[in-house]
Chain A
């Protein structure tokens, strides 16, 4: 029994996460489908038709095709914020849900990784729904466009794991989360080349895109969705950067969970 918990503990916590999420199904659904759909219709269709009327294309494709994969990535990556800040604080402090399992054979690091696995399933659901919407809107020309789904999951994890690692170190919530939302997530979203090519920004603002997981993810998703041209090494950089952020964030988080729950 104990042996099995040691091996699969992370999955148990992921299951717990999904059970809790079920109670907020409406909020989750609205976030998962409503928000990206709104951005898609507003920007892709609304703003897009303004550009179409002028005959403007971006990257050789219509504006809708250009923004759709990036919206898919960016909205999921934004939902990583709430999942890795307030939820983590609730686990340690507000509801202390972490302390129950920490008293069992489960290792706290399994709670940390289990949390990420649980959210990953949510991202997967969210991205798949959006991919269907993209296809319905005729916004995913390539047969490989479904690969944007794993890209989205990876990007959201890369965005979330470092926040989880940070949130786990906090004893109380002052203004930290609002600060992250307004000064990190928001600029990363707006300056990550979601709604325009990053290269059209002045060079002194482009660095915000380079460090933003959303930009790396969007570029990969665009490659999958319509075949965005980029040197192969840059694609390797995208993947390595995203995977690296996730693993680094996750490892730091796991360490903090151990320190906090086993002290």
Chain B
């Protein structure tokens, strides 16, 4: 305990393991349908859009202008989107519910745990779940022949990076949320991000001003990074997208740490 630096002493006890242990026991007793269903959504999108819209669109220009099948075009984007959705759900709706309705955090914080143990624990659990989905999705697209490069394996850690960026920011945002209507706003931001971030078609169809706006949004960077990895088209831009998420994760961590008292001690 004495190794914890002074400003964090009131927030962190270094007992992250207990929070993870609780998460594991809860998952074991939870309904497996819910866990599996998180994986089903991107698969359905891939099948429906890849087959249906793919038949209309034909091949599209992939990274570096090389034509690829429509299914191969959207698969990495769907993985990026599902990493975002999962991480945001776990760090906003889920945290909000456990805070205000299940009173789970209230009980945890009556003990020697600090708010930072709880926050870190929830983020790590969200990442573990994301890892599971990413591996399953990866196996699926490899099986369908939609990943054409060994670089594609890096899409798994990339999914974790995307998830960490969104989860760390999401938890900070939750500290500002007062009611369920506030959570709705997050949903209303997620849908346009998914629909416009070069997930289902290139953003070049939009005017330049709108393109710049989309490029400022995190999901576009996630989608592009994934797409580069899926075909092994690694350039400076790929590193740029990665840097975006590293910066976002750091900013999210700082924000969440600063807001920890507001989030948990109210």
Q: A residues near B, CB below 8 A? A: 24, 26-27, 30, 34-35, 38-39, 41-43, 45-47, 49-51, 53-54, 56, 58, 63, 174-175, 178-179, 182-183, 186-187, 190-191, 193, 195-196, 200-202, 205
In the complex, the answer to whether A175 meets B56 with C-beta atoms within 8 Å is: no
Scan residues 189-213 of chain B and give those whose CB is less than 8 A from a CB of chain A.
191-192, 195-196, 200-202, 205-206
Dominant secondary structure at the A interface: helix
CB distance from B215 to the nearest CB of A (A): 15
B37 touching A201 by the CB < 8 A rule?
no
Contacts of B196 in A (CB 8 A): 42, 46
Q: Determine if A46 and B37 form an interchain contact, defined as CB atoms under 8 angstroms apart.
A: no
Minimum distance in angstroms from A42 CB to a CB of chain B: 4
Interface core residue of B55, B56, B202 (most chain A CB under 10 Å): B56
Q: A27-B181, A50-B202, A190-B44 are in contact. Are A195 and B34 (CB under 8 A)?
A: no
- Residue of A with least CB distance to B195: A42
B37 touches A178 (CB 8 A): yes
Contact B60 A38 (CB under 8 A): no
The answer to the question of B52 belonging to the interface, with a C-beta cut-off of 8 Å to chain A, is yes
List, in ascending order, chain B residues with CB within 8 A of A182's CB. 37, 40-41
Contact A34 B188 (CB under 8 A): yes
Residue in B48, B181, B195, B200 with the greatest tally of chain A CB atoms within 10 Å: B48
Q: Which residue on chain A has the smallest CB distance to residue B46? A: A190
Contacts of B188 in A (CB 8 A): 30, 34
A-chain residues with CB within 8 Å of residue B41 when the two chains form the complex: 182, 186
| Bound CA–CA A182/B57 (angstroms) | 27
CB of B206 within 8 A of CB of A50, answer no
CB-contact partner of B33 in A45, A50, A56, A175, under 8 A: A175
Chain B residues 164-195 with CB under 8 Å of chain A are: 181, 184, 188, 191-192, 195
Q: Output the least CB separation between A87 and chain B (Å).
A: 14
B44 touches A187 (CB 8 A): yes
Q: With A175-B31, A175-B34 given, is the CB distance from A46 to B52 under 8 Å?
A: no
**8 Å CB contacts to A: which residues of B28-51?**
31, 33-34, 37, 40-41, 44-45, 47-49, 51
Chain B interface residue number, banded: 20 to 34
A46 engages B48 (CB within 8 Å):
no
**Residue in B40, B44, B49, B191 whose Cβ sees the most chain A Cβ within 10 Å:** B44
**Given contact pairs A38-B195, A46-B196, A174-B31, a sample of 4 additional A-B residue pairs in the complex whose CB atoms are under 8 Å apart:** A46-B195, A190-B48, A200-B51, A201-B51
User: What CA separation (Å) do A72 and B39 show in the bound complex?
Assistant: 27
CB distance from A70 to the nearest CB of B (A): 12
Known: A51-B56, A196-B53, A201-B52. A24 touches B181 (CB 8 A): yes
Q: B157 interface residue, CB < 8 Å from A?
A: no
CB-CB under 8 A from A30, the residues of chain B are 184, 188
A183 to B39, CA, bound (A): 11
| Nearest B-chain residue to A39, judged by Cβ | B195
A202 contacts across to B, CB distance below 8 A? 51
CB neighbours (8 Å) of A39 from chain B are: 195
- CB atoms of A46 and B44 under 8 A apart: no
- Contact pattern, B 40-83, Cβ under 8 Å of A = 1, otherwise 0: 11001101110111011110100000000000000000000000
